[in-house]
């Protein structure tokens, strides 16, 4: 790698992602007005309430075009949670009269002000992040920690690092993405001392990777990447990051170091596939696709995606166990949801082999022999001795096709997410072979990414 080429690439990216002075001023003015209005509304209700701006726009690590302002209204701990929620919503509606209520760990108000997207969130003002009553209580501590340590140069490197994570598709701590949060990116740039230092280190990571900025961790973690929260010794900031996304960061870090180019920082969304294009891919691949399509449960995304992944794992495990050999699979969700599975084996024989115990294990072997020898309804072939020293039967297979299994009540015997199971119990359809091409109408972009996977 040419050092000059890397620096030139970063400079080009900085030019794109650094907010202009005018943009900074517009945001600063809007944020100051929001904080002032929220403080007035909050102190009318609780005299010693206060308000802080948090998040990337408060720390100067936001990228050009980002329109988010996060305002936290902090209430003393001598009020109860129900009162905090009530006051928080009242303040939110007063400051953002056209806003709407959303829910994380507790309700808050989301709206728009002077062209900026605003989250106005109530929290408790606790003395330390280890004393939080809800997850949002620690956010002001994150803000204070980073504001004290990020200078202008490091803040610029954070913006570049965020652009890189967005470009390679690993940015976002939502449970659909399972990627790197803004706070985590900031901590990693701070910990390693810059963007170049971060990607150089990441290129050589050997998970498990452990970083403890304050050297105060008090517990162990099993995650591939561990960054102990400098404000809470029992929390791994990187807990949500999937092993695949750690690997993707490593791959793209090596690629960037080998061949620096601004294009690596640009998100790439593939052109959606048409049903005909999906059918062409399937014909080329020669696999047998199946999909279970249903109306998703009415839950927030961070509850939906773990349930979809659990359900997909349960279905693929059951298909593998029945001999249909999952080739690859993915979950899809928008207006509808689907568990999409490509199979290497389209159909199984009418009988299946079932190995019993060795003949010399007398008690178990006798029980196995007598059980199958006594079967008169759909009698098996055997029992007989085959191979080395075991009893074997060849018995009727319950399902000879994956579709038959997926359409049966046996589907509900697999490990499914609770909400997904309820949704399937209401109604679902099974698509087989070319029928799955119909998914392209809703999921053309996702299927394009599936059939043209990137690292």
C-alpha angle 417-422-426 in degrees, rounded to nearest 5: 140
pLDDT at residue 9 in the model: 97
pLDDT tens figures, 120-149: 999 999 999 889 998 899 999 999 999 999
Tokens 């791994």 found at: 236
pTM of the predicted structure, to 2 decimals: 0.91
pLDDT at residue 120 in the model: 97
Radius of gyration of the chain (CA): 28
For residue 378, name the pLDDT band (cuts at 50, 70, 90).
confident
For residue 48, name the pLDDT band (cuts at 50, 70, 90).
very high
pLDDT at residue 377 in the model: 80
In this prediction, residues 383-412 reach a mean pLDDT of: 93
pLDDT at 370 > cutoff 80: yes
Q: For the chain, give the percent of residues with pLDDT over 90.
A: 90
In this prediction, residues 388-417 reach a mean pLDDT of: 94
For residue 375, name the pLDDT band (cuts at 50, 70, 90).
confident
Question: How far, in Å, CA of 42 to CA of 49, rounded?
Answer: 6
* Buried residues in 369-379 as b, exposed as e (16+ CB within 10 A): beebeeeeeee
Q: Which of 4, 66, 5, 78 is nearest to 30 (CA)?
A: 66
How many other C-beta atoms lie within 10 A of the C-beta of residue 5?
Answer: 12
pLDDT tens figures, 1-46: 568 899 999 999 999 999 999 999 999 999 999 999 999 999 999 9
Bridge-based pairing of strands 225-227 and 209-211 is parallel
pLDDT tens figures, 252-292: 999 999 999 999 999 988 999 999 999 999 999 999 999 99
In this prediction, residues 294-299 reach a mean pLDDT of: 96
Distances 38 to 44, 79, 91, 104, 107 between C-alpha atoms, Å: 10, 18, 6, 20, 16
pLDDT at residue 191 in the model: 98
* Buried residues in 120-139 as b, exposed as e (16+ CB within 10 A): bbbbbbbeebeebebebbbb
Q: Which of 13, 12, 124 is nearest to 63 (CA)?
A: 13
pLDDT at 103 > cutoff 90: no
In this prediction, residues 296-313 reach a mean pLDDT of: 95
Q: For the chain, give the percent of residues with pLDDT over 70.
A: 100
Q: Which of 78, 11, 5 is nearest to 47 (CA)?
A: 78
For residue 380, name the pLDDT band (cuts at 50, 70, 90).
confident
Average confidence score pLDDT of the chain: 95
pLDDT tens figures, 180-239: 999 999 999 999 999 999 999 999 999 999 999 999 999 999 999 999 999 999 999 999
pLDDT at residue 291 in the model: 98
Question: How far, in Å, CA of 312 to CA of 54, rounded?
Answer: 37
Phi, psi of 116 (to 5 degrees): -105, 145
Q: What is the 3-state secondary structure (H, E, C) of 223-266?
A: CCEEEECCCCCCCECCCCCCHHHHHHHHHHHHHHHHCCCHHHHC
pLDDT at residue 265 in the model: 97
In this prediction, residues 433-449 reach a mean pLDDT of: 97
Element (H, E) at 442: helix 440-451
Question: How far, in Å, CA of 161 to CA of 168, rounded?
Answer: 11
Question: How far, in Å, CA of 100 to CA of 394, rounded?
Answer: 62
- For residues 10 and 161, the answer to whether their CB atoms sit within 8 Å is no
pLDDT at 101 > cutoff 70: yes
Q: In what order do the strands lie in the sheet with 288-294?
A: 326-333, 337-343, 288-294, 429-432
Start-to-end CA span in the chain (Å): 21
294, β-bridge pairs: 337
Instruction: Report H helices in 96-228.
Output: 139-149, 152-167, 182-192, 195-202
pLDDT at residue 1 in the model: 55
Please give the biggest Cα pair distance in the chain: 86
Element (H, E) at 74: strand 68-75
């Amino acid at each position: 790698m040419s050092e000059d080429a890397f620096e030139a690439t970063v400079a080009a990216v900085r030019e794109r992602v650094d907010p202009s002075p005018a943009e900074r001023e517009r945001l600063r003015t809007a944020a100051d007005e929001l904080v002032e209005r929220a403080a007035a509304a909050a102190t009318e209700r609780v005299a010693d309430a206060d308000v802080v701006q948090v998040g990337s726009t408060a720390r100067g690590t936001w990228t050009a075009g980002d329109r988010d302002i996060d305002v936290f209204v902090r209430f003393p701990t001598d009020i109860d949670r129900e009162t905090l929620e009530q006051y928080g919503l009242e303040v939110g509606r007063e400051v953002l009269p056209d806003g709407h209520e959303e829910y994380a760990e507790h309700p808050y108000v989301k709206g728009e002000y002077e062209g900026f997207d605003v989250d106005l969130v109530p929290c408790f003002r606790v003395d330390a992040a280890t004393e939080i009553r809800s997850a949002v209580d620690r956010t002001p501590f994150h803000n204070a920690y980073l504001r004290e340590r990020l200078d202008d140069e490091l803040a610029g490197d954070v913006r570049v690092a965020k652009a890189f994570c967005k470009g390679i598709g690993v940015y976002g701590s939502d449970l659909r993405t399972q990627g790197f949060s803004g706070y985590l990116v900031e901590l990693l740039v701070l910990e390693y001392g810059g963007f170049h230092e971060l990607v150089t280190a990441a290129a050589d990571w050997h998970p498990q990777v452990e970083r403890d900025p304050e050297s105060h961790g008090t517990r162990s973690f099993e995650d591939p990447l561990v960054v102990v929260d400098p404000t809470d010794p029992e929390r791994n900031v990187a807990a949500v990051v999937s092993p695949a996304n750690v690997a993707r960061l490593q791959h793209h870090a090596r690629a960037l170091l080998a061949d620096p180019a601004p294009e690596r920082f640009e998100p790439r969304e593939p052109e959606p596939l048409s049903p005909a294009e999906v059918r062409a891919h399937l014909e080329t691949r020669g696999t047998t696709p199946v999909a279970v399509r249903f109306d998703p449960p009415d839950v927030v995304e961070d509850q939906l995606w773990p349930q979809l992944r659990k359900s997909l794992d349960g279905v693929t495990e059951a298909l593998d166990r029945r001999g249909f050999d999952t080739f690859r699979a993915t979950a899809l969700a928008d207006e509808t949801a689907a568990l999409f599975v490509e199979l290497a084996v389209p159909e199984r024989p009418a009988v299946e082999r079932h190995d019993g115990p060795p003949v010399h294990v007398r008690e178990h072997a006798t029980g196995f022999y007598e059980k199958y020898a006594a079967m008169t309804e759909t009698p098996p072939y055997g029992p007989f001795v085959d191979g080395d020293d075991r009893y074997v039967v060849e018995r009727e297979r319950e399902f000879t096709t994956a579709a038959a299994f997926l359409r049966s009540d046996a589907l509900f015997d697999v490990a499914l997410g609770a909400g997904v199971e309820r949704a399937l119990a209401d109604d679902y359809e099974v698509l087989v072979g070319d029928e799955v091409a119909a998914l392209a109408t809703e999921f053309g972009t996702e299927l394009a990414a599936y059939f043209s996977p990137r690292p």
